Amino acid sequence: MARLTLTLACTASDRTRPILDGRVSIPGVELIPLPGEPEDIFRRALRDRAFAISELSMGSHIVTTARGDAPYVGLPVFPSRAFRHSAVYIRTDRGIRGPKDLEGKLVAVPEFQQTAALWVRGILREHYGVDTRAIRWRSAGERVAIAPPPGHDLAPLGEAPEAALAAGRVDALIAPRAPAGLGQGVIARLWPDYAIEERAWHARTGFFPIMHCIALRRDLAEAHPWLPVEIYRAFARARAIALEELSLINVLRISLPWGPAAFAEQAAAMGGDPWPIGFARNREELSAMIRFAASDGLIAAPFAPEELFHPSVLAEG
């Protein structure tokens, strides 16, 4: 069988580098690695179907899967996960002292469908009792078109969200990247001790928020039904290498003096595996994300999380 030549676009991390640098190969595939930043990768993948294998926003993947025009089929490999209490930034001159104070305020997001914003809205609703429909949302622009969410005040922002926050044209910002001026003047986090909030929330839910998945272009999955499992297993091997390196103490593989101790502590706090992959282990969390998307008006109704992924990989992991 001739080898397939396929592109892989993803962010370089300890979890993906073993594939990007060739230590882990995908059987039957000659890989062209294209490391980059998520915003550019997602835009090109969703608008142009530019890559054979791509890191993909889970928020966008949920939206496109629900409406039946997803150009990619997912694999339950999650190269990006992040707690997001840290992603809520406020102006301290707007009377915002706690989550409920966001009701009635003007809140900017890079994109309404962005996964970080999806998680924050779900957390605000289900754990802090915030009516997210009472928030006036302003989006800097959507990577794929979305219908106006029923019952939500969502309008274009017309400028960079960070600039709008700094100038006082919005009251708060939800974004995965910290804005310039954080901790100076009137820009602060909603939860200054965000790690404490995140640990408490994790203890209640068991979730470590999934941000991105690995996905294969749908035409390739249909033409080569053996391929999704081989890609999944390659990323599983890469993840195993990354986690093993975190615990090595003979020569530190990361530039943190007590990195192995921190890894052991955090792994224990998260049930022994700080970065779970596979569908079954993440089904409840994926169902929550779909529920959040329905509550946000991004999708018409919840659907089974199995629909996000290629059938051949559902039993893996």
Sequence spans of domains, the chain: 4-81+209-240+277-300, 85-205
Give me the mean pLDDT over the 25-43 stretch: 97
Query: Is pLDDT at 312 greater than 90 in this prediction?
Result: yes
Give me the mean pLDDT over the 11-38 stretch: 98
Q: Report residue 64's pLDDT band, with 50, 70 and 90 as the boundaries.
A: very high
Cα dihedral angle (190, 193, 195, 196), rounded to 10 degrees?
-110
Element (H, E) at 151: none
4-81+209-240+277-300: CATH topology: D-Maltodextrin-Binding Protein; domain 2 (3.40.190)
Evaluate whether 4-81+209-240+277-300 and 85-205 have a shared fold. yes
Amino acid at 250: N
Query: Is pLDDT at 87 greater than 70 in this prediction?
Result: yes
Give me the mean pLDDT over the 168-175 stretch: 98
Q: What's the CA gap between 77 and 20, in Å, rounded?
A: 15
Please tell me the chain's helix, strand, coil percentages from 3-state DSSP, rounded to the nearest 5: 40, 20, 40
Give me the mean pLDDT over the 247-259 stretch: 94
pLDDT tens, position by position, 172-220: 999 999 999 898 899 999 999 999 999 999 999 999 999 999 999 999 9
Query: Is pLDDT at 38 greater than 90 in this prediction?
Result: yes
Q: Which residue has the higher pLDDT, 229 or 181?
A: 229
Q: What's the CA gap between 66 and 307, in Å, rounded?
A: 9
Provide the edge-to-edge strand list for the sheet that holds 136-139: 153-156, 136-139, 106-109, 172-174, 88-91, 187-189
Q: What percent of the chain has pLDDT over 90?
A: 97
Q: 199: burial class by Cβ within 10 Å (0-12, 13-18, 19+)?
A: middle
Which pLDDT value is given to residue 2?
Answer: 82
Q: Return mean pLDDT, the chain.
A: 97
Q: What's the CA gap between 16 and 234, in Å, rounded?
A: 10
Q: Which of the four CATH numbers 2.60.40.10, 3.40.640.10, 3.20.20.220, 3.40.190.10 does domain 85-205 have?
A: 3.40.190.10
Q: Report residue 129's pLDDT band, with 50, 70 and 90 as the boundaries.
A: very high
Which pLDDT value is given to residue 116?
Answer: 98
Which pLDDT value is given to residue 183?
Answer: 87
Whole-angstrom CA distances from 215 to 86, 169, 201 are 27, 37, 29
Query: Is pLDDT at 1 greater than 80 in this prediction?
Result: no
- For 185, the token pair is 């003047």
